[in-house]
Chains A and B, each alone.
Chain A
Amino acid sequence: MQDREGLKPIDWLVTSIKPALSSIIAILGSIIAGSIVLALSGIDPAFAYYTIFYEALATDFGITKTLVEMTPLLITAVGLLVCFRAGIWNIGAQGQMLIGTLFANVVGYSLGPLPTPIILPIVLVAGAIAGAAWALPPAILKAKLGINEVITTLLLNFVAINLIKFLIKGPLRNVAEEHPQTYPIVKSAYMPTFFGTQIHVGILLAFVIAAAIYFLMVWTKLGFQFKILGESIKAARYVGLPISRLIILAFIISGGAAGFAGAIQLTAVMRNVNPAWAPGYGLEAVPLVFIAKMNPIAVIPLSILFAVFLVGTDIMHRTTGVPVYFIEIFLGIMLLLFAVSEVVQRFRVRKVREAGV
């Protein structure tokens, strides 16, 4: 009926780049803005970026560290992705991770020295269960009473931070140590590593989980229903989806992922918890998922990129004295740029949509 031409390559390029446009702008823009900040503090930006990438990717030590840092980020991010896709703004991953880690820690020393293939999965699953449990109150409040989850999950972050401080200094304190900290997990619960490096099995698990979430969102009925719910609650009602159940399930998946990520960190890196431990993964994963545009594949390279910057700036800080908060400025600018370019784009899209019928 219509002159219908096949999709030209240039069209294809445009249509495939367009969705990623604001993410690309955000990343490139923050690198540029970051160089201005660096230049203003009297550091050669080219040298700084070279150092960041070199240290994080080109040395054995750096690349190991990058992968280790990427692991909790990636797992938390794919969990959050499920929630965000379902239109649920869980920003309590930080608290869910803390609680998950602490519980995994307790399980990891109180079960006694069982063989690794038994105890390690138990500890990891314990982390996931505790993380999911911590996500449950906001989930139920939202599903049953419609209470806004942004507020409840955020508040529970503070509750979690203070709760674990209290527990570590009080009931769970390792009395043998001078500074407050918990008992370490038993040796057999340590995450195995490859060939004496620090590259551990948890890194593989992170990729497996990311693949599983991709599969969930793209190929399963459940993932499809999350997407319907996230796109339009009206459509979800029209279709008759079990909305409360989906909300609770999304919370459980993302809380569980955060707790699992914490348990991996515990078994692979930390071995016990001290009150100074304040992981940023749960917070960093939020902008990460947005900048990945909630795409389960894009989350992987972005987690690596985030990890590169985290590790690179950390090493650079130690060697050249660039302030550590550079990374925070950097991520802040990235999120800001992303938000602005999204709003600009969305505004145009919205106008076109209004017009579109």
Chain B
Amino acid sequence: MVGITKTFPGVVANKDVDFEAYYGEVHGLLGENGAGKSTLMNILAGFYRPDKGEIWVNGKHVKIKSPKDAIKLGIGMVYQHFSLVKKLTVLENVMLAITTNSFKIPRQSKIAEEIEKTAQSLGFSIDPYAVVADLSVGEQQRVEIIKILIRGSNIIILDEPTSILSPVEVSGLFEVLRRLARDGKTIIFITHKLEEVMAICDRVTVLRAGRKVGTLTRDEMKSAQRLVTMIFGSEITTERFDKRALSHSVREVLRAENLVVENDLGVNAVNGLNLVVHEGEILGIAGIEGNGQLELAEALAGVRPIKSGSIYFKGRKLAKPNPMLMYSLGVRYITEDRIGEGLIPSFNITENLILKSHRDNNFINSWFIPWTKGQKLAEQIISEYNIIARGPSSVASTLSGGNLQKLLVARELMHNPTLIIANQPTHGLDIKTTQYIHRKFVEQASNGSSILLISNDLGEVMKLSDRIAVMYNGRIVGVFDRENADREAIGRLMIGHGIS
């Protein structure tokens, strides 16, 4: 890609970017939130047309006018939000992907065979007849990759593929990527995590504010600090929070007793859970995704009904928790589902910011919405969290992934909450913003807010929490103080070892 420029109304997303990736390499694409990574790759995949610039594939100058052209050229992209049809089987999804261009429908059994073969060559197995909705996110991601491979792609783009995976799944994915690179495919890998870059990338290209900063080879990127400087244009000091004073408060804010909560399939995902959150503490929940964390968070936020058991707030039993009640008690919920649940893509920043608080009589005490007040608030949040957007009336769907996340977190941290339930709060954020959010959490906690932190990233949990509770199979199977927290022991509990 040579001299790629892409502007959106009012924003230059890419400016004169040269990008080059070889066959057989894993090429990292780095840059802070809103740097233009997704845009650049969407141009390569044919979703956007560049205003200026040329694309060369295999030494040939090509014009990519649509995703179809990109597919023909062997370019495939795995989005952060998969494009699989959940109700269909793996096989049907693959069929959908490969039959869009012809009227000839290939034989099912042949494709099924091909799926199994491809999976095998990548070192795992997959049932072509499994329904996608029943697969874990890691498996769904593999299906995406298989889909792209069967379509004949040689250039595979992955946009933040690891942010939704558990550590085990990440190493599985890396294994797959290495194999693909060994087979001569080009892998372009967008991420915010430097250790992942170090682990897998042969070269990296860094973008900043839409421009290319440079490309480093494996030897050149030895030090993470150098990458950080390239990404942000300045060094950032990594802060450590684990030395801060432990919260020893015994005043209880929230207590769950024998909590049972069903998931969407009617299975008890939270199954007899007991938990106490104290005032001013950060309580981390460690656990492998899918052990009931989502259902626990939703139940405590009042979004999901509880089947049995009870929830106490500051000692008072809540008869029937609902989102409005929890909100009025000062409970805020950072959902992991930022698009469609936490934020509405077609709403602008102001509208998304007052999504909840417009019902709060302390904030708006009339039937009418004072939009100018909302707009001022939006301006304040935009500058405080450094959200890259044209202004309060920018529509959410035009924000980059990380900037959407900032907006969601910012909204839930407003108005001094009592308890913040944070599910994957730094999902998709760059290092600097992640640190900013971490600092905010610690600040909130020292101001007396409690935080229930749920994260796939054990490192994040261990860094911030005063106490760490390990969740397994819908229950808390162990609680550690930060001082006694032992990674090994926690890891063992997370996979259910040593639980009677």
A: residues with CB less than 8 A from B are 1-7, 11-12, 14-15, 219-222, 224, 227-228, 231-232, 234-235, 237-240, 351-357
Contact = CB atoms under 8 A, between A and B. Distances in A.
B341 interface: yes
Nearest to A12: B9
Contact of B38 (A2, A12, A356): A356
B323 A239 contact: yes
A277 to B, nearest CB: 38
Nearest to B323: A240
Contact of B11 (A4, A221, A228, A232): A4
B324 to A, nearest CB: 4
B367 to A, nearest CB: 5
Interface stretch (B20-28, B195-203, B351-359, B483-491): B351-359
A235 B355 contact: yes
A293 to B, nearest CB: 12
Nearest to A6: B10
A contacts with B: majority SS: helix
A221 B359 contact: yes
Interface string B303-324: 1000000000000000000111
A11 B10 contact: yes
Contacts, number: 121
Interface of B: 7, 9-13, 15, 32, 34, 38, 42, 45, 47-48, 67, 77, 79-81, 83, 159-160, 209-210, 302-303, 322-327, 333, 335, 337, 339-347, 351, 354-356, 358-359, 364, 367-369, 371, 386, 388, 390, 397-398, 400-401, 404, 428
Nearest to B7: A5
Contact of B9 (A7, A220, A357): A7
18 contacts: A1-B388, A2-B13, A4-B12, A221-B359, A221-B364, A232-B344, A234-B337, A235-B344, A238-B323, A238-B341, A239-B356, A240-B302, A355-B45, A356-B42, A356-B397, A356-B401, A357-B80, A357-B400
B68 to A, nearest CB: 11
A3 B12 contact: yes
B contacts with A: majority SS: loop
A11 B47 contact: no
Given A14-B9, A237-B303, A357-B79, A231 B323 contact: no
Contacts of A5: 7, 10, 12
Contacts of A237: 303, 323
B347 to A, nearest CB: 7
Contact of B10 (A7, A219, A220, A231): A7
A355 B340 contact: no
A354 B79 contact: yes
Contacts of B67: 351
A355 B42 contact: yes
Identify the 8 closest CB pairs spanning chains A and B, nearest first.
Answer: A240-B323, A357-B401, A240-B324, A355-B47, A11-B9, A3-B12, A355-B42, A234-B341
A279 to B, nearest CB: 33
Contact of A355 (B10, B79, B364): B79
Nearest to B10: A7
B15 A240 contact: no
Contact of B342 (A238, A240, A352): A238
B344 A231 contact: yes
B368 A221 contact: yes
A11 B398 CA distance: 15
